Every structure is written in structure tokens, then in C-alpha cells.
């Protein structure tokens, strides 16, 4: 049974590219364009992993992480943040919010897949 | 449509929109420079362009927006103020970004110049800010102290040097962490050096590639506070032992002796010893004591090397490295050699003396690195020979034979991959010698031989090859019987006249040997076709020679390495090929007419009759040959043969990549290599080309 | 999650060869590349187009049209190279396949895949894994492992037509009943 990944990014190109990469690896992908969209979308669904962009308008990745952790069904789902090296200082905040790890942009498909595979193992 | 192209297109549309929004916000800021919302917007757009540009191959956009993002980060945190100069340059960058989006990373030389100018202007702004002498907000600068510049390296003043001991838990890979990324991250904070400790890596049999056996000591000089370093390890702190301490209030990397010391640690794999550092001139007074070793790791304290003489003795002369790491190293070196070729290509087309000298130094360095990495991947053949001692001992006992097994040249080194694939064929050959070569003691005595049979296994270098000889003084082969048997099996026609070596070659033909026993050669050929196939898979050859009643010698001829060779690049039509340099004897330039009119493909060059053939013809290349062609004279066994090609382009370091299973029947091509422009050139196996394509008997006979 | 709760959904990449649509399970597709310069390997059959550089390694490239006996055409902007991971003799091998155009990635319920109908002894079975029906069109799911490991040219054009014919006939029969 393939696992389901929620991909959250306000940039459609990244969202689609990450989604496609994961689909080619056989994962089910749910896409959301904002934190709000994500929270509405996952209600009642089985999600095995959340990948979210850190820097988004309205609700950023860390705020989203906090919100997701509040949901009963999602308290243990791994959450990966996509970010750039200039945001390294946010790491602590992300960890405290309950994030599992992060991936620094730009990254290649292989790296994304290997991180996802390890987290989901 | 190509899906990746599709995403790229999406990004372009997205970026277009972002750039338009950027322009709008900048125009508003021009009137109201304190409009927070728009400052945020500008920052966010720069951030998005930077992060996402790199994802879709717009590296220039990423580079360009990097500093702008930093500037607007300062602006939004109130550390810098928007003024006319900044707005002007940002507005200009809107147009520049549009241009970068349109042209991608391949800028022509003019655009590249504009790009560089622009980038350095923006760099100036950020540098002025970082150097403290900025004219934007002096009082803020004082208020925040030096830490405001914390994100950036390059400014040596006020750096501190930290020591980090990072011992990941074996299972760190399981939660998706690659420790090397963390070390990379530390590197972005300032100047750093890491010493990897590999002593916990177990022997190959128990090596588990999902586990992390390595631990690191990292030295970093940075403006950052210790908490920033702590943060790097934040996601792994539960899975690792991490100790971070300040060892000096200055940048120790500026000290030559310190750097030397670290380099020594990296080479020897020894642990850092603060005492040793204190004794170094010019450093000692700056050293702060490292925090006490935590009690849960007493074994580490015990291992700390002792200062002085004793330490010198404790230097480890060799380390055990997993073969996976060596493979990785070889791959990286391969890539670097390929990149080197690209650099050379670029340098040639840009007549820049500065660039030329850099490229030359890099070339020298990469050649050394290549040779060094190459020598690391070589291992002595002795490593597999010991198990044969055992085999011979056990088998001779079972067979009731007395055998004296002598090994020579254990120190001969070969590529790891070759050695791995050599074990089975060698085992096979030895078994044959034991089973069918060496006679029983009674028979030997009857034939006037010593009771004890001898098997010699000898490895030695011969040019760029390694020979492995298995020689016995057993019964030997009878060529007549081989021929008879081959005829019986229909492998050769009744009329064929074969010389001795051709007859022995029959032993390697699939289907030659069967279970039915024919006197002394019974079963002797068992699996010899398999041996031959295995050896040719590693680009080697097997030759058999024997004398009836005296013994047999099987020789395996192998290339030194599978991966890297020096080659010569030649062109045929539009295609580039590589000829291994060791095979090349001489190059002549000859008019096409002379070649065309040559009788029986023989040409007289410098008084010698040289047989040749045209690769253009053999490869079926379309189009007309150039007026002047070139003949590459290559060595073929002990003869010389000319290969006609269009033009020789020059020497080329070649990283050989296999063509894969789909091309397994193209055995005259050893593999492919990636050229500087990213295309693939085929590497020719001159021996196989000549034996395969040359129907010209002259080559075989008259060219001696 | 137990099997009864969930249906197996599979993702397929669809692509065109000539006028016919085919599909490959996405697990076989590693990457999609633009058409690019291909280094010709001398003395090879015409469908073996040559080799390209894929991340520093050499990737053999096969022209799927020629391989399937469809007359070759000029490459267009839409032509691309599917980088496939296939299995040959228990080994994973990467190979590039030139196709006319990549269309879509679609998810298709595994249970709904029609079995490849028996095609009579004249045709080699095993190239077609099954058939999907999307908007009244039939899409052949190719077994990439068999298609790209063999060395002969496959007359897929004919095979495809027969398959579609047969399916149509079966469908119309049902209607009559």
C-alpha cells in the first residue's frame, strides 16, 4: 500500500515538481497551496508525511507545523520543512514546533526521495 | 511535453509574476519607504526567487538574488534603511532578473559581463554594511554590535574558533539525517575543517551500510555564537553525542601551524589534543581549555594521544575504509576529471592568461588527485591468494596427490573490481591443474618426474597490464587430441589447418568440454569457456600454452584499472572517439588520395610498410573524408597497424564508463567517457578493433 | 491498513508512439529528458540510437518507434527520452527510450486493468501487460522489462491493432447480449 504525502508550498512550480517526483516513486500525493488549504485538506485523511515550505505568506511552515501537531491524528506524522540555507537560524524554532527535519533548497530529486524514504521507513 | 520542462515553464510564469509584483512594491516604496508590508513582500520575492530558481536550473537568478535577499532581510529587521541608491539598484535588478529568466544560465559574454558588474555592485552594498562602515544606519550598527553580521563569513575580525565533537548514533541514517550535510552546514558559518574518525568501521563481512560508524571532530572559526552551532545539530541531538566548546577567541585558521596540525589530524585520523595545540608557537596563549570530557565516554579520554614522541609513534600507518567510500571517491574523482575537461575547453576559447594559469594549476592538482585516488583503489592480489593455499592443500589431500604450491608477486596491485572478479576464474584454473594437470605420485615417478607436483602462481606487471600465470608441471595437453575432439563436436571443419595456439584457443570455446572422458584431457576444459567469459568481462584475456607430458601454463592478462586511462581524442566525421594513449605509437598526416590509392591497404611511411584500415569505412560513417586524414599507428601484439581517422584533437584524461548490457556485443568499444561539453565519446579497444575488423591478412603476417 | 479497505491505485505515465497511446507503470520511469545529442555507436541495429550522458554515466538509448517497427520520423520539440529502470537477468539496468511525446501521469485502479487478450500464437506475448480504458480510448500498458531487454524489432503496431480490435469485438458482443 503506497504512503500518502502532503506537499504544501505557495509556489506552484515547486509544489508540482515535488509532487511529481514523489508520485514517480509510487507515493500518493495531496497538494496544498497554503497552510490553511493544507489543514482543510487533511481533515479525516490518512497522511504519512508532511512536506511544507518554510517561507509562505499568511501561515509559514513553522506555524503550520504547530497547527498540525495540535490535531489528534497528526501528532506523530513526520513533518519536513523545505528551506534555504539563509533560514538556518529558524531551525531551533522549527524543531520546537515539532518538525522532524528539513531539506535545504535547491535539492535534486534523488535527495528528496532518499530523505523521504528514510523518514518513512 | 517533457514533464520537467513543464515544471520549468511553470516556474518561469510564476517568476514573471513575482518580478512584476516586485516592481510594483518597489515603486510604492519609492514614495513611502517605510511601508512594512511592501518591504516584507520584496524580501519574500527575493527569497522565493533564490530558493526556487536553483531548483529549476536558474542558478544565476539564485546567485543574484542571494545578496538582495540579505539586504532586504536587514531592511525588514530595521538594521538598514531604504535609500535612493538601494531603490535604484533594486529597480534596475528587476530588468536584470527578467533578462536572466529569459536567458537562463547560458549568458553570452556581453550579458555575463553586465551580470558580473551588477552582482559586484550589490555585493558592495552588503559588504559596506558588513564591514561596519556603512552609511545606512550607523547608530543601529553600534547598538547591535558585531553579531548583526553573523550570517556572513568573509570578515576575519572577531571570529572565534570552536571545537565540535560529533558522534552520531549508529542509527542516525534511519531518521533521514546525513551527517555530512550537517558538516556542510557548519562550513557555511565560517572557515571549518572536519576530521573524520573511521576506526569504528567494522570489517567488510559485518559492515552494515545502513549504519553510521564514523564520528567527527570539527573545527570552525566563525562570528556565530555557540548557540548557532548548537542549532545546527538540533535535529540530531537525541541521536548523537555532541560537544561544542570554544577553543580560542580568534580565528585559528589564520595560523599556519594550526592548519598544519589539522591537516595532520585529517591524514592520521588521530584525535584532537588540546595540550598539543597549546604548545604551538603563537597559538598556545590563545587556547581556552576544552570543557571536561563527560563521564559517559571514558573510553575516549583513554584514547587521547599522548603529546610528543609517543604520539609520533602512535600514528596509524594505514586505515580501513569501506569499499563503498572508495567507490564514492572514485566516482567523485571521475566527475572532477570530467569537469576538468570542461574547464580546459572553456579556457581554450577564452584567451585569459589569469584563467589559463588557474586552469593549469587545477589540471595539475586533479591529475595528482586522480592518480592518488586511483592508487587507493588498487589492492594487492595477495589478498585473494591466501585462500588458494588452503584450497590446494585440502584438494591435494582428497585427490591423493602431493603438490608444492608456490605463489609469487602477491604484492602486485590491481583494481579492486578486477580482484573481486578474479577469484572464481582463478579458482577454476587451479582446480583444473590439481584435478587433471598434476598426475598421481605413482604416475609421476613412472614418467621420471618428482613425486611432488609443482604449481606456480605468479603475478607481475607487464606494461600497463598485469599478468597472472598459473603454471603446472603436470601431464599437459595433447594438441592432436584437442583437435580431434573439436572436430568430433563440429567446432572446426575437417579441412581447417590450425596452429598450436589456435588449437589451444579451442579449449575456451563454449561446448568444447563435456563429461565424457577422453584420456588425459578429460574434463580439462571443464568451464574454461566460463573462465574466458568472466575474464573478458573485466577486459582481460586468457591464453593457454601446454606441452604434452611437461605441463600447462594458463596466463590471464588484465588491465591495471577499469576506470581511468589516458587517452587521445580523435574525430571521425562529427563523432569523437578516444584511443588509449598506451596503444599509440605514432601519428602521421596523409592525404586522402594516398590512402585511397594504397594497394591492398599498405602504405609506406618512413621506409616502413604499414598495413592500415579506415575507421570511417569500418564504422560506416556518412559523408566524405577530409582532404588530409591522419593515421594513428597503434601497437598490435608485436606489430604496428595504422588506424585512419579524420583528425587527432589531443590528449584527454578519460574516465571509462561501461556502455551497459545493451551494447555487450560491441566489444571493440571499451566504454564511453563524458567529454567537456557533456556529450559522450566512445573509447576504442584497438586490439579488438584490429582483430575484428581487419580481414587484411597482411596485418597478421607481413607487418612483423 | 488492510487490503479490504483500500484499492490498489497505480500511477502510469502515458506516451505516444505514432498515433497510438501507451503507458508505463511509473515505477519504471526514472526521469524524462529532452531530446539531445546522441553519440552513435558503430555497427549496431538501427533502433539502438546510441548513448547519452546521464548524470556522468553512460545511458544507452533506444528509439522506441524503430524498435516497434513504426517508420521513423524526424524528432520534434515534443520528442523526449524516457529514462527507464528495467530488469535484465536479475539486474537493474537503466535505458533511455525515445518516444514521440509524453502525455500524462494518470492513476488507474489496478482492478480495472483489462488483461492482455490472447493474441494467437503469431505474436509474442509478454510485451503488453494489460489495457487501460480512459475516456473510451484503450491504452496499452507495456511491460518495459520485456520490451527493452529483447534485441529484435517488435511489430507492436500490428500487435496493438489486433488488441484493440479484439477488445472492441468483445465489448460489442456484450452489448448484443
- Measured between alpha carbons, how far is B569 from C3 in angstroms, rounded to an integer? 59
**Averaged pLDDT for residues B208-215:** 76
Residue with cell 520485456: C146
Contacts of B458 (CB under 8 A, 6+ apart): B407, B408, B409, B467, B468, B469, B471
Name the CATH code of domain B3-146 (choices 2.60.40.3080, 1.20.120.160, 1.10.3720.10, 3.20.20.70): 1.20.120.160
Does pLDDT of B73 surpass 60?
yes
Enumerate the residues of chain C whose CB falls inside 8 A of the CB of residue A1: 1, 3, 6, 8
Q: Kindly report the length of chain B.
A: 704
The three cell numbers locating residue B668: 571493440
The residue among B412 and C159 whose pLDDT is bigger is B412
For B163, B265, B302, the CA distances from B261, given in Å and listed in that order, are: 14, 6, 21
Return the CATH fold of B380-559.
Heat Shock Protein 90 (3.30.565)
Tally of CB atoms within 10 A around A16: 19
Enumerate the residues of chain C whose CB falls inside 8 A of the CB of residue A28: 9
**CB–CB of B657 and C58 under 8 A?**
yes
Q: Which residue in the set B8, B48, B54 is minimally distant from A106, CB to CB?
A: B54
Q: Count the helices and strands in chain A (H runs, E runs).
A: 5, 5
Return the CATH fold of A4-120.
Rossmann fold (3.40.50)
**CB–CB of B51 and A55 under 8 A?**
yes
* Position A11 confidence tier, pLDDT thresholds 50, 70, 90: confident
| A23 close to C (CB below 8 A) | yes
pTM over 0.80: no
Reported as a single tens digit per residue, the pLDDT across B387-397 is 788 778 878 88
**CB–CB of B173 and A121 under 8 A?**
no
Taking the CA atoms of B184, B186, B192 and B197 in sequence, report the sign of the dihedral they define.
negative
CA–CA min distance A1, chain C (Å)? 7
Residues of C with CB under 8 A from a CB of B: 31-34, 37, 39-44, 48, 50-53, 56-60, 62, 78, 80, 88-89, 91, 93-95, 101-102, 105
Q: Is B340 helix (H, G, I), strand (E, B) or coil?
A: helix
Q: Where are the domains of chain B?
A: 3-146, 160-292, 323-377, 380-559, 564-701
Taking the CA atoms of B439, B440, B445 and B449 in sequence, report the sign of the dihedral they define.
positive
Testing the interface with B: which of C11, C12, C33, C39 to mutate, by most B Cβ within 10 A?
C39
Residue with cell 524526424: C74
**Averaged pLDDT for residues B288-292:** 58
pLDDT at C5: 41
The three cell numbers locating residue A6: 502532503
Strand ranges across the sheet with B647-655? B647-655, B564-572, B575-580, B680-684, B669-674
Reported as a single tens digit per residue, the pLDDT across B166-188 is 888 777 765 556 677 778 778 77
Reported as a single tens digit per residue, the pLDDT across B25-42 is 888 888 888 888 888 889
**Averaged pLDDT for residues B216-243:** 79
CA–CA min distance C108, chain A (Å)? 12
| B65 close to A (CB below 8 A) | no
**CB–CB of A24 and C26 under 8 A?**
yes
Q: Which residue in the set C88, C102, C105 is minimally distant from B2, CB to CB?
A: C102
Cβ pair B176, A115 in contact under 8 A: yes
| B225 close to A (CB below 8 A) | no
CA–CA min distance A39, chain B (Å)? 23
Reported as a single tens digit per residue, the pLDDT across B560-610 is 766 667 789 999 998 999 998 878 888 999 999 888 888 888 898 888 888
| B66 close to A (CB below 8 A) | yes
* Position B71 confidence tier, pLDDT thresholds 50, 70, 90: confident
Tally of CB atoms within 10 A around B355: 13
**What is the 8-class DSSP label of residue B657?**
B
Tell me if the bond preceding A106 is cis, omega within 30° of 0. Answer: yes
Q: Is A25 helix (H, G, I), strand (E, B) or coil?
A: coil
Q: Hey, what CATH class is B160-292 in?
A: alpha beta
pLDDT above 90 covers a percentage of chain A that reads 20
Q: Angle at CA B684, nearest 5°, toward B679 and B688?
A: 155
* Position B156 confidence tier, pLDDT thresholds 50, 70, 90: very low
ipTM passes above 0.90? no
Q: Which residue in the set C1, C30, C105 is minimally distant from A23, CB to CB?
A: C105
Q: Where are the domains of chain C?
A: 9-176
Give the mean pLDDT of chain C: 78
| Chain A CA closest to residue C84 | A24
The residue among A95 and B474 whose pLDDT is bigger is B474
Q: Which residue in the set A105, A114, A121 is minimally distant from B54, CB to CB?
A: A105
- Measured between alpha carbons, how far is B29 from B42 in angstroms, rounded to an integer? 10
For residue C22, what are the β-bridge partners? C15, C140
Does pLDDT of B518 surpass 50?
no
pLDDT at C177: 42
Tally of CB atoms within 10 A around B618: 18
Contacts of B413 (CB under 8 A, 6+ apart): B375, B378, B379, B380, B381
Reported as a single tens digit per residue, the pLDDT across B338-391 is 788 778 888 888 888 889 888 888 888 888 888 788 778 788 888 787 678 877
Testing the interface with B: which of A76, A86, A98 to mutate, by most B Cβ within 10 A?
A86
Give the mean pLDDT of chain B: 78
Testing the interface with A: which of B3, B5, B7, B222 to mutate, by most A Cβ within 10 A?
B7
Instruction: Please tell me the least confidently modeled range out of B258-267, B322-331, B549-558.
Output: B322-331
Name the CATH code of domain B564-701 (choices 3.40.50.300, 3.40.640.10, 2.40.50.180, 1.10.1040.10): 2.40.50.180
Neighbours of chain A (3+ CB pairs under 8 A): B, C
The three cell numbers locating residue B592: 586522402
- Measured between alpha carbons, how far is C10 from B72 in angstroms, rounded to an integer? 46
What CATH code is assigned to C9-176?
2.40.50.180
Amino acid at each position: 500500500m503506497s504512503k500518502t504525502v502532503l506537499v504544501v508550498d505557495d509556489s506552484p512550480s515547486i509544489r508540482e515538481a515535488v509532487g511529481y517526483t514523489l508520485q514517480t516513486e509510487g507515493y500518493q500525493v495531496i497538494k496544498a497551496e497554503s497552510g490553511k488549504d493544507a489543514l482543510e485538506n487533511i481533515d479525516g485523511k490518512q497522511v504519512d508525511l508532511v512536506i511544507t515550505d518554510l517561507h509562505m505568506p499568511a501561515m509559514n511552515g513553522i506555524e503550520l507545523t504547530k497547527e498540525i501537531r495540535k490535531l489528534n491524528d497528526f501528532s506523530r506524522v513526520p513533518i519536513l520543512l523545505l528551506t534555504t540555507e539563509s533560514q538556518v537560524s529558524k531551525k531551533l524554532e522549527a524543531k520546537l514546533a515539532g518538525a522532524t527535519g528539513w531539506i535545504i533548497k535547491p535539492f535534486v530529486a534523488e535527495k528528496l526521495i532518499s530523505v523521504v524514504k528514510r523518514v518513512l521507513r | 511535453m517533457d514533464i520537467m520542462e513543464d515544471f520549468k515553464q511553470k516556474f518561469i510564469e510564476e517568476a514573471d509574476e513575482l518580478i512584476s509584483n516586485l516592481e510594483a512594491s518597489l515603486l510604492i516604496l519609492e514614495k513611502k519607504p517605510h511601508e512594512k508590508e511592501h518591504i516584507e513582500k520584496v524580501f519574500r520575492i527575493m527569497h522565493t526567487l533564490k530558493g526556487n530558481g536553483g531548483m529549476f536550473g536558474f542558478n544565476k537568478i539564485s546567485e543574484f538574488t542571494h545578496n538582495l535577499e540579505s539586504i532586504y532581510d536587514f531592511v525588514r529587521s530595521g538594521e538598514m534603511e531604504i535609500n535612493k541608491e538601494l531603490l535604484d539598484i533594486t529597480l534596475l535588478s528587476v530588468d536584470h532578473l527578467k533578462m536572466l529568466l529569459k536567458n537562463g544560465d547560458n549568458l553570452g559574454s556581453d550579458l555575463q559581463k553586465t551580470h558580473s558588474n551588477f552582482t559586484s555592485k550589490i555585493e558592495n552594498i552588503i559588504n559596506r554594511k558588513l564591514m561596519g562602515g556603512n552609511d545606512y544606519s550607523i547608530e543601529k550598527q553600534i547598538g547591535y554590535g558585531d553579531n548583526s553580521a553573523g550570517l556572513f563569513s568573509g570578515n576575519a575580525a572577531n571570529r572565534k574558533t570552536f571545537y565540535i565533537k560529533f558522534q552520531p548514533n549508529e542509527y542516525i541514517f534511519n531518521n533521514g539525517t546525513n551527517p555530512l550535510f550537517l558538516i556542510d552546514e557548519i562550513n557555511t558559518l565560517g572557515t571549518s575543517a572536519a576530521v573524520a574518525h573511521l576506526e569504528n568501521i567494522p570489517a567488510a563481512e559485518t559492515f552494515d551500510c545502513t549504519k553510521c560508524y564514523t564520528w567527527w571532530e570539527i573545527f570552525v572559526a566563525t562570528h556565530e555564537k555557540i548557540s548557532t552551532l548548537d542549532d545546527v545539530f538540533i535535529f540530531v541531538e537525541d541521536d548523537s553525542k555532541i560537544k561544542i566548546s570554544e577553543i580560542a577567541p580568534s580565528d585559528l585558521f589564520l595560523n599556519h601551524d594550526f592548519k598544519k596540525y589539522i591537516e595532520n589530524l585529517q591524514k592520521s585520523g588521530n584525535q584532537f589534543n588540546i595540550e598539543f595545540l597549546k604548545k604551538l608557537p603563537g597559538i598556545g596563549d590563545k587556547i581556552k581549555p576544552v570543557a571536561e570530557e563527560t563521564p559517559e565516554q571514558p573510553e575516549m579520554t583513554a584514547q587521547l594521544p599522548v603529546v610528543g614522541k609517543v604520539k609520533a609513534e602512535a600514528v596509524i600507518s594505514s586505515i580501513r575504509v569501506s569499499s563503498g567510500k572508495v567507490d564514492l571517491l572514485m566516482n567523485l574523482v571521475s566527475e572532477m576529471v570530467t569537469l576538468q575537461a570542461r574547464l580546459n575547453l572553456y579556457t581554450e576559447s577564452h584567451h585569459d592568461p589569469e584563467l589559463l594559469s588557474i586552469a593549469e594549476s587545477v589540471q595539475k592538482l586533479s591529475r595528482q588527485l586522480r592518480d592518488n585516488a586511483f592508487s587507493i583503489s588498487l589492492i594487492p592480489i595477495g589478498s585473494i591468494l591466501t585462500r588458494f593455499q588452503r584450497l590446494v592443500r585440502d584438494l591435494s589431500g582428497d585427490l591423493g596427490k602431493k603438490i608444492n604450491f608456490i605463489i609469487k608477486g602477491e604484492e602486485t596491485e590491481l583494481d579492486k573490481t578486477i580482484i573481486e572478479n578474479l577469484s572464481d576464474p582463478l579458482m577454476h584454473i587451479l582446480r583444473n591443474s590439481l584435478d587433471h594437470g598434476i598426475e598421481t605420485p605413482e604416475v609421476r615417478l613412472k614418467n621420471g618426474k618428482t613425486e611432488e607436483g609443482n604449481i606456480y602462481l605468479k603475478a607481475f606487471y607487464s606494461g600497463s597490464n598485469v599478468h597472472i600465470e598459473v603454471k603446472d608441471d603436470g601431464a599437459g595437453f595433447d594438441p592432436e587430441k584437442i583437435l580431434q575432439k573439436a572436430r568430433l563436436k563440429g567446432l572446426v571443419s575437417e579441412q581447417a589447418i590450425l596452429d598450436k595456439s589456435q588449437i589451444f584457443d579451442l579449449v575456451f570455446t563454449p561446448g568444447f568440454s563435456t563429461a565424457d572422458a577422453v584420456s588425459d584431457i578429460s574434463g580439462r576444459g571443464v568451464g574454461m569457456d566460463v573462465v574466458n567469459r568472466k575474464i573478458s568481462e573485466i577486459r582481460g584475456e586468457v591464453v593457454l600454452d601446454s606441452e604434452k607430458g611437461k605441463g600447462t601454463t594458463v596466463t590471464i592478462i588484465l588491465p591495471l584499472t577499469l576506470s581511468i586511462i589516458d587517452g587521445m581524442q580523435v574525430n571521425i566525421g562529427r563523432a569523437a572517439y578516444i584511443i588509449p594513449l598506451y596503444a599509440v605509437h605514432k601519428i602521421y598526416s596523409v592525404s586522402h588520395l594516398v590512402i585511397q590509392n594504397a594497394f591492398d591497404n599498405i602504405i609506406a611511411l618512413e621506409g616502413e610498410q604499414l598495413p592500415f584500415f579506415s575507421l570511417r569505412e569500418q564504422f560506416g560513417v556518412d559523408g566524405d573524408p577530409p582532404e588530409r586524414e591522419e593515421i594513428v599507428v597503434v601497437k598490435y601484439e608485436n606489430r604496428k597497424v595504422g588506424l585512419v581517422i579524420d583528425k587527432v584533437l589531443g590528449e584527454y584524461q578519460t574516465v571509462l564508463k561501461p556502455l551497459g548490457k545493451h551494447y555487450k556485443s560491441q566489444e571493440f568499444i571499451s566504454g564511453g567517457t563524458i567529454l567537456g561539453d557533456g556529450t559522450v565519446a566512445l573509447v576504442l579497444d584497438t586490439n579488438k578493433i584490429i582483430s575484428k575488423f581487419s580481414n587484411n591478412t597482411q596485418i597478421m603476417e607481413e607487418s612483423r | 491498513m488492510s487490503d479490504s479497505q483500500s484499492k490498489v491505485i497505480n500511477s502510469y505515465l502515458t506516451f505516444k508512439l505514432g498515433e497510438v497511446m501507451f503507458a508505463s507503470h511509473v515505477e519504471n520511469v526514472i526521469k524524462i529528458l529532452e531530446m539531445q545529442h546522441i553519440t552513435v555507436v558503430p555497427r549496431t541495429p538501427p533502433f539502438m540510437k546510441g548513448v547519452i550522458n546521464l548524470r556522468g554515466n553512460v545511458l544507452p538509448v533506444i528509439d522506441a518507434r524503430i524498435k516497434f517497427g513504426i517508420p521513423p520520423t524526424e524528432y520534434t520539440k515534443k520528442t523526449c527520452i524516457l529514462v527507464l529502470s528495467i530488469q535484465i537477468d536479475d539486474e537493474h539496468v537503466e535505458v533511455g527510450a525515445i518516444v514521440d511525446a509524453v502525455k500524462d501521469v494518470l492513476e488507474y485502479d489496478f482492478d480495472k486493468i483489462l488483461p492482455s487478450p490472447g493474441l494467437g500464437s503469431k505474436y509474442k506475448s509478454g510485451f503488453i501487460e494489460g489495457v487501460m480504458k480512459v475516456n473510451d480510448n484503450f491504452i496499452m500498458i507495456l511491460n518495459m522489462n520485456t520490451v527493452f531487454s529483447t534485441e529484435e524489432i517488435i511489430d507492436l503496431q500490428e500487435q496493438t491493432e489486433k488488441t484493440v480490435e479484439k477488445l472492441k469485438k468483445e465489448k460489442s458482443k456484450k452489448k448484443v447480449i
